[in-house]
């Protein structure tokens, strides 16, 4: 369960709500677990709200006001904390990844957002919504590129990705875009900023064939796992679920090519895409 964290209430709306929630809970004489039971959530979820790791949504804001006798304080103020440049189903995951100390991700079809190039991100977003105005696509690409700045820090968070071979072979945006995108992934890995492995088709059936997953660890809060589907996404903090998915990631990593061999394959495919562009 997350422990109390000293926050600067002026730093962000989420920090303000987290500090006020902790104050109101302690004033009511409730532990995180006790308050969580009243809201039908885990004590760790309450701790993540207090730490500013998780965003507060209107449903829980109203319940907190009722349980803690805070009038409509949380209901009135959760809107400011919920504003995001990202789609609603992904906004919270994008926010919590900035607090993560380690991110482990299995990508079955796409290069993960943190490793995408602008051209690749544009092709992906255009495929998501073929009729979206160009300005909207620009905003989505800008949002995705803003996330990549997380890797500007030389060492944290740890980013470990297992890419299905389909990620390398699904031509997204054309061959020139794929060549640039794969060269970028390999370059980030060569700099030691990310551990990248490829799960080859030859590995056969595996435990994560039903979809992608992202595990996130934090210094002062319990780990989270994020599940994503077309237009949907969900964060989960249930310890048993997180432990199961961590085991799944370990199995995928064990079945994947070693990092050095993975980089050789990524770079070879990047070269193949690039050479096919030559006259």
Co-location of 78 and 103 in the same domain:
no
Confidence of residue 277 (pLDDT cuts 50, 70, 90): low
The answer to the question of residue 5 being in a domain is no
Co-location of 98 and 184 in the same domain:
yes
Co-location of 252 and 170 in the same domain:
yes
Co-location of 176 and 204 in the same domain:
yes
Tokens 């987290």 sit on residue: 18
- Cα gap 263→250, rounded to integer Å: 19
Co-location of 193 and 59 in the same domain:
no
Confidence of residue 231 (pLDDT cuts 50, 70, 90): confident
Average pLDDT over residues 245-258: 96
Task: Look at residue 278 in the predicted model and tell me its pLDDT.
Answer: 47
Average pLDDT over residues 13-18: 76
Three-state helix/strand/coil letters over 25-49: HHHCCCCHHHHHHHHCCCHHHHHHH
Task: Look at residue 6 in the predicted model and tell me its pLDDT.
Answer: 41
Average pLDDT over residues 145-157: 90
Report helix, strand or coil for 129: coil
The answer to the question of residue 7 being in a domain is no
The answer to the question of residue 249 being in a domain is yes
Co-location of 216 and 244 in the same domain:
yes
- Cα gap 158→111, rounded to integer Å: 17
- Does residue 249 surpass a pLDDT of 50? yes
- First-to-last alpha carbon distance for the chain, in angstroms, is 60
- Cα gap 162→197, rounded to integer Å: 5
Predicted TM-score of the model (pTM): 0.73
Co-location of 63 and 98 in the same domain:
no
Domain boundary among 58, 82, 106: 82
Co-location of 98 and 188 in the same domain:
yes
- Cα gap 84→74, rounded to integer Å: 18
- Does residue 10 surpass a pLDDT of 50? no
Co-location of 154 and 229 in the same domain:
yes
Confidence of residue 251 (pLDDT cuts 50, 70, 90): very high
- Does residue 96 surpass a pLDDT of 60? yes
Confidence of residue 86 (pLDDT cuts 50, 70, 90): low
- Does residue 11 surpass a pLDDT of 90? no
How does pLDDT run across 37-84, given as a tens digit for each residue?
998 888 888 888 887 777 788 888 889 999 999 988 888 887 655 555
Domain boundary among 44, 64, 82: 82
The answer to the question of residue 72 being in a domain is yes
Segments forming the whole domain that contains residue 151: 88-275
Co-location of 209 and 243 in the same domain:
yes
Task: Look at residue 3 in the predicted model and tell me its pLDDT.
Answer: 43
Lowest mean pLDDT among 16-20, 96-100, 107-111, 275-279: 275-279
What total of structural domains would you count in the chain?
2
As a whole number, the mean pLDDT across the chain is 87
Q: How many CB atoms lie within 10 A of CB 205?
A: 6
Domain boundary among 82, 105, 138: 82
Q: Which residue has the higher pLDDT, 274 or 17?
A: 274
CATH number at residue 200: 3.30.870.10
The answer to the question of residue 64 being in a domain is yes
The answer to the question of residue 6 being in a domain is no
Co-location of 33 and 65 in the same domain:
yes
CATH number at residue 38: 1.10.260.40
The answer to the question of residue 69 being in a domain is yes
- What is the share, in percent, of the chain residues with pLDDT greater than 70? 90
Task: Look at residue 77 in the predicted model and tell me its pLDDT.
Answer: 81
How does pLDDT run across 97-148, given as a tens digit for each residue?
888 899 999 999 999 999 999 999 999 999 999 999 999 999 989 988 988 9
Task: Look at residue 233 in the predicted model and tell me its pLDDT.
Answer: 78
Lowest mean pLDDT among 53-57, 131-135, 149-153, 233-237: 53-57
The answer to the question of residue 2 being in a domain is no
- Does residue 195 surpass a pLDDT of 90? yes
- Cα gap 166→161, rounded to integer Å: 14
Provide DSSP, 95-115: HHHTT-SEEEEEESSS--GGG
Whether residue 188 contacts residue 194, with contact meaning beta carbons closer than 8 Å, is answered with yes
Co-location of 69 and 102 in the same domain:
no
């Amino acid at each position: 369960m997350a422990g109390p964290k000293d926050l600067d209430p002026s730093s962000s709306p989420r920090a303000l709500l987290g500090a006020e929630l902790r104050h109101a809970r302690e004033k009511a004489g409730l532990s995180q677990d006790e308050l969580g039971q009243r809201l039908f959530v885990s004590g760790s979820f309450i701790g993540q709200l207090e730490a500013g790791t998780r965003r507060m949504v209107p449903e829980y804001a109203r319940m907190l006001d009722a349980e803690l006798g805070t009038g409509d304080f949380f209901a009135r103020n959760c809107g400011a904390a919920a504003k995001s440049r990202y789609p609603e189903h992904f906004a919270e995951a994008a926010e919590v990844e900035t607090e993560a100390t380690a991110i482990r991700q299995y990508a079955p079809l796409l290069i993960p957002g943190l490793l995408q190039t602008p051209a690749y991100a544009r092709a992906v977003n255009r495929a998501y919504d073929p009729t979206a105005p160009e300005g909207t696509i620009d905003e989505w690409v800008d949002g995705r590129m803003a996330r990549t700045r997380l890797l500007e820090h030389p060492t944290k968070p740890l980013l470990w990705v297992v890419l299905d071979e389909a990620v390398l072979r699904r031509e997204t945006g054309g061959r020139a875009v794929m060549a640039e995108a794969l060269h970028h992934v390999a370059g980030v890995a060569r700099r030691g900023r990310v551990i990248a492995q490829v799960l080859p088709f030859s590995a056969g059936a595996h435990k994560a064939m039903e979809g992608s997953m992202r595990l996130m660890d934090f210094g002062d809060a319990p780990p989270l796992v994020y599940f994503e589907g077309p237009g949907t996404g969900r964060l989960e903090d249930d310890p048993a679920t997180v432990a199961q998915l961590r085991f799944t990631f370990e199995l995928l990593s064990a079945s994947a090519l070693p990092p050095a061999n993975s980089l050789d394959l990524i770079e070879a495919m990047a070269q193949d895409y690039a050479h096919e562009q030559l006259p």
